[in-house]
Structure 1
């Protein structure tokens, strides 16, 4: 990686989710930490499995909640967030997000989604009135975490053609849409094109070396690559019902691609 000047040095949070410390995911996370720090950036790592992260949202997340009262998760989480009374593990992860200039999620694709422990990190950390709600800016372009870049680094057991436009698994952009658009863009983070290692069960030393070279290039451009060009909610393309206005998309555009700004 190119060494950053003092003005270019950033703060990056890497969240990784794999139970095996000798896994491909762990190796990619370690590589990213080494590369980013060598370039002069600050890095924090949340290794969810090593942290024994609690995945399920429950009343223990909100210390002031009376156990004999109904748990309205949205309302109670918002109250606890505004009062600074979330459980310490959640508060610590929110502090890391506030600290960061970029977030990298490193995970294996399991059943077309993130591992449960990472979904639990999202569920518990992105609380009402922290990641969304009346106390923060509106979603999709102006959200609570505006100004941060976001990168998915994912390993996939299938080969790349299976995740293509005619692949049986569907396009990778569509499979990752809940993360890229529904988590990152919803909260104001700008998502980059994902870094992907396909056929992850058969990675030779040569393929791993090639993957590291490509990942190194992606990390070097973490703050300069063009993000995925999602439309903003407040940009005039959506009506009051949050539906895309008729005819805004380019002719022939369909599916989730209608929520991308046209090129040019």
Structure 2
């Protein structure tokens, strides 16, 4: 299922009656219950909620890392909940980028190798992938660190590498799980601006889970995850203008 097979539609992502349960011993815990919403192409949507509210679980369901207990997820009209594990993995590899809180870089690989690895494993042309990675590293301000190893980078630099890795395959959808949660405020603002610049300039949909209401001020829409449900919230824009300036 290649990018050329897609006829892009304004409504990129649809969640239909999504339910997720976890079994803990003899008890069943409902984390998400009857989630119904859609996300448009090019939107920046924030998922707010406390730790354990289900934000990360929802991102994992959207990406196909986990399967819901019930309901359907459609990405550009592809029902990913009907795909088998291999098909979901290939779909995620080709069409979804994921940025994690803890970077998830491979310590024995250089910056360049970390960025190119997923595409090389997918059988892409190595020279083309390396050139694209170098262009991205220049955009994220790390062109001079392409041969460095992760332990020689600051937290903010590692997260910038992770962002480059997440968008190298030009995904239609980028998911970010607390991408600034492990960074100080100043570094977090820089990383957030970079992520927004890269996704908005390419009209990608960005869905970000966070517990930080300040980040929500930059979003097109905000949903709060609470008691297993999504509740849309109004957006107050004071105070974060300097981040996107």
Q: Which has the higher strand share?
A: 2
TM-score over 0.5 for the pair: no
With the length of structure 1 as denominator, give the TM-score of the two structures: 0.29
Q: Bigger relative contact order, structure 1 or 2, given CA contacts below 8 A and separation 6+?
A: 2
Larger Rg computed on CA atoms? 1
